Amino acid sequence: MRTAILELLKHNAGQYISGEEISRNLNVSRTAVWKHIRALKQSGYDIEAHSRLGYALRQNTDRLLPAEIRAQLTSAVLGQEIHYFSEVDSTNNEAKKLAANGCPEGTIVVAETQAAGRGRLARGWFSPFGQGIWLSVVLRPPFGPMDAAKCTLMAAIGVNRAIGVNRAINAVTGVDCGIKWPNDILWNNRKVVGILTEMSAEIDVINYVVIGMGINVSIEHFPSELAPIAASLSVATGRSISRVKLLTAILAELENVYKLVKKSGFAPVLAAWRKESITLGRQVDVRGFDRSFSGVAIDIDADGALLVKTPQGIERVLAGDVSISPVVFR
């Protein structure tokens, strides 16, 4: 009913429509109409109420409200169940709870802000209100735990392609993002997206995977420690970007890549990743969890591990941080 009322208001955008007309149209009491309008206002819609004229939707919201997402959703599985929070500790934590309680594959959790957004290894993730997409997706993949790390690469492709949707529109500004192994999308060597994949598994079967994605959409001011290393898409493009449009594009692209993985395994995804990566062929500094070294990133292997050529031989990196040395022009 709430969605139907919202649709009516949108249809009459800016114009008043009386409570009586809404109640007649939708066959619902005027008190119920009033209650739904109040709930819509609480969830962020700018609705004006006039005692004589009725209700008018002043401005469409830029919140990531489920009704807004559903209206643009093209994916068949991802985003069919949406959990929306104005504020939450971490969308990944919420998604893990839902997954443990048996929510369907494709369930998503989105929030306007996270009080305790997380990166890998308990690092923090800066998630200011309304200026990014703080999103987690629950998957129940048919493959084993050994393959889970490749979900990060899969998600990076999905997000990078979706950013490309906006990039195509903004071709003039030429925002050129690339994937940095294993979980970042960079613009101008600054991080615009971070991905955190977590899973619950038995020895040989995955219960669920939660892919958390943090996409900086319109952040203009980062805390000083992030300012030199982070950026946001609207600053990169010089234009405002619809978060709902980008979010639904991410779900659609991620669903496509995931379908491909389920049909043909990871090989095509790894091939696509090689093309869209900005890591391969570059001089990198690797900070593994137990050692650090430098070399040239030459490839990823079938497990998604990064292969780095060093004077001592080829190192295989399954997890860690990589920084790419600036290109030196001679």
6/279 with CB nearer ligand BT5: 279
- Report helix, strand or coil for 137: strand
Query: What is the spatial distance between Cα 47 and Cα 293, in angstroms, rounded to a whole number?
Result: 57
**Shorter beta-carbon distance to ligand BT5: residue 54 or 304:** 304
SS3 call for 226 = coil
| Nearer CB in complex with ligand BT5: 106/117 | 117
Cβ distance to ligand BT5 smaller for residue 112 or 253 = 112
Task: Return the residue nearest ligand BT5 (CB atom).
Answer: 194
In the complex, minimum distance from the CB of residue 22 to ligand BT5, in angstroms, rounded to a whole number:
37
Binding residues for ligand BT5 (CB under 6 A): 90-92, 114, 117-120, 123-126, 134-136, 183-184, 191, 194-196, 212-214, 216, 226, 230
Per the structure block, which two tokens stand in for 234?
A: 């609207």
CB of 235 to ligand BT5, least distance (A): 12
As a whole number of angstroms, the distance between CA 59 and CA 66 comes to 17
Find out whether 300 and 270 touch, Cβ atoms under 8 Å. yes
Q: How far is the CB of 216 from ligand BT5 (least distance, A)?
A: 5
- Residue 89 is classified by DSSP as S
Tokens of 84: 């929306």
Is the Cβ of residue 147 or residue 184 nearer to ligand BT5 in the bound state?
184
Cβ neighbours of residue 235 under 8 Å, at least 6 residues apart? Answer: 218, 219, 220
Strands 54-59 and 46-50: antiparallel
Q: Least distance to ligand BT5 from the beta carbon of 122, Å?
A: 9
**What's the rounded Cα separation, in Å, for the pair 155 and 305?**
16
Quickly count: other Cβ atoms within 10 Å of residue 290's Cβ.
Answer: 6
- Smallest gap from Cβ 98 to ligand BT5, in A, equals 13
| Smallest separation (angstroms) from ligand BT5 to the CB of 242 | 19
Judged by CB, which is closer to ligand BT5: 215, or 252?
A: 215
Tell me the pairing of strands 177-180 and 132-139.
unpaired
Side chain identity at residue 88, one-letter code: V
